[in-house]
Amino acid sequence: MISSIEIVRTAVLALKRNKTRSMLTALGIIIGVAAVIAAFAVGAGANKSIDEQISSFGSNFIMVYPDRSAQQTGNTMRYLTYDDAKAIEDEVSGIEAVAPMINTSATLIYGNTNWSTGVIGSTEKYSEVQDREILQGRNINESDIRQAAKIAVIGSTIAEKMFFGDNPLGNSIRVNKIPFTIVGVFTSKGQSQTGSDQDDFVLIPITAAQKRLVRWTTPGRIGNIYIKGVSMNALQYIQSETEALLRERHRIKPGEPDDFSVRNISQMLEARRKTTTIMSMLLGSIAFISLVVGGIGIMNIMLVSVTERTREIGVRMAVGAKAIDIRAQFLTEAVILSMIGGILGIILGVFAGHSLASFTQAPPIFTVSSILLAFLFSGMVGIGFGYYPAWKASLLNPIDALKYE
């Protein structure tokens, strides 16, 4: 058998003789590898973004909200109240902070500037639960809550967009036409994973929100409750204790469904991660199938090539090529084709991953191992699908091959 470097050189020469066909054959592999690379990169990117969301929420975070689906069977609508939040804080152990929440939106007016934004009604515990720090001024305090004081702590975006670098402290800002005095500014948290501005909001005392903004009729009604546990391990306990406590407070009989829902945010995100993983597995397997189809394309072309080049094979055999030399040459041609397809596919896959990522809003992640794997796999496809044509070529009888028209 001739040396491997000569086999490679011979194979490259043969492929060069038919550039168009070689490129078209490699195209199948290019697309297959690109699809695999892109699918896994987008999947990995989506997973990472979920991880980051988990860490931005804080891993010890539990959310309680009214469950409308369960309430359809009941007579009256039941809401969460300020006292529910208080009771949780007082009676459930393992809790670091509880924040009753009202989420609404409003138009802010300061001077000539109008600004639509989210308004959060909560207590001084909000900053603790959401890991927020005060940059300037002060946080809400207990007497603000008692008095339903018309004071506000604003996010850094509001400070920028409405005060243009002036000191906002002490100024009065109209929230849905009601004047609120700015007492503090939060530090900036920047953009979230999904690209939304986390600093575009106003925090006011929850009592002020109840009385002056949402004006709900149910006394003490709030939107939902944020709970921060002392640790990840405490969450399970907090969740079940909170459920039991609220059932008791809402007088829900055994066997009746809850009129609220307690959710561990990291659990929810875990569930979403599962979906994402399944999606990327699905995409990956479709990509994998296209790679196999590309391999079949190689086999097809190599079979045609063996038939077309029967005379060449005959000549090579006549001048002394052994069966193994012929087999090695055609196999090498197939492997080179799929390797070239692999390399170009990786490049295309990186581009495809980036453009796909604009839909998923999570930057794709290309790992060296996934790229190596795709490349090695394309080589294996070359061997797998190149073997049969190469073997067929090596079985030719030199006399018949030389006579072939």
Residues at the site binding other proteins, with contacts judged by CB under 8 A = 2-3, 6, 10, 13, 17, 311-312, 314-325, 398-399, 402
Which whole-number Å values give the CA distances from 164 to 35, 113, 167, in the listed order? 47, 11, 9
In angstroms, the CA 22 to CA 16 distance is 8
CB closer to other proteins out of 6 and 51: 6
Kindly state the smallest distance separating residue 318's Cβ from other proteins, in Å: 5
CA nearest neighbour of 240 among 83, 87, 92, 84: 92
Which is nearer to other proteins, 133 or 400 (by Cβ)? 400
- Residue 62 bridge partners (DSSP): 227, 264
Min dist CB 319 to other proteins, Å, is: 4
Q: Distance of CA 139 to CAs 126, 143, 160, Å?
A: 10, 12, 19
Place of tokens 């709970």: 227
Nearer to other proteins by C-beta: 248 or 400? Answer: 400
- Shortest distance, position 316 Cβ to other proteins, whole Å: 7
Least gap, CB of 330 to other proteins (angstroms):
15
280 vs 310, beta carbon nearer other proteins: 310
Residue with smaller CB distance to other proteins, 3 or 369: 3
Q: State which residue, 115 or 404, has the beta carbon closest to other proteins.
A: 404
Strand partners, 203: 120, 153
CA atoms of 24 and 4, how far apart (whole Å): 26
**Which of 138/311 has CB closer to other proteins?**
311
Residue 398 C-beta: closest distance to other proteins, Å:
5
We find the least distance from the C-beta atom of residue 384 to other proteins, in angstroms, to be 25
Residue of 203, 216, 193 lying closest to 158 (CA atoms): 203
Give whichever of 266 and 310 is closer to other proteins, judged by the CB atom.
310
Nearest Cα to Cα of residue 266 among 306, 297, 238, 301: 238
Shortest Cβ distance from residue 329 to other proteins (Å)? 11
What is the distance between the terminal CA atoms of the chain, rounded to a whole angstrom? 28
How far apart CA 158 and CA 140 sit, in angstroms, is 17
State which residue, 13 or 372, has the beta carbon closest to other proteins: 13
Q: Evaluate the CA torsion angle 124, 220, 222, 168 in order and state its sign.
A: negative
Return the ∠ at Cα 244 (arms to 243 and 245), rounded to 5°: 90
Provide the minimum distance between the beta carbon of 40 and other proteins in the complex, in angstroms, as a whole number: 40
Closest to 130 measured CA to CA, from 222, 196, 199:
199
Closest contact distance (angstroms) between CB of 14 and other proteins is: 9
Map 201-231 to HEC letters: EEEEEHHHHHHHHHCCCCCCEECEEEEEECC
Distance CA(366)–CA(344), nearest Å, equals 15
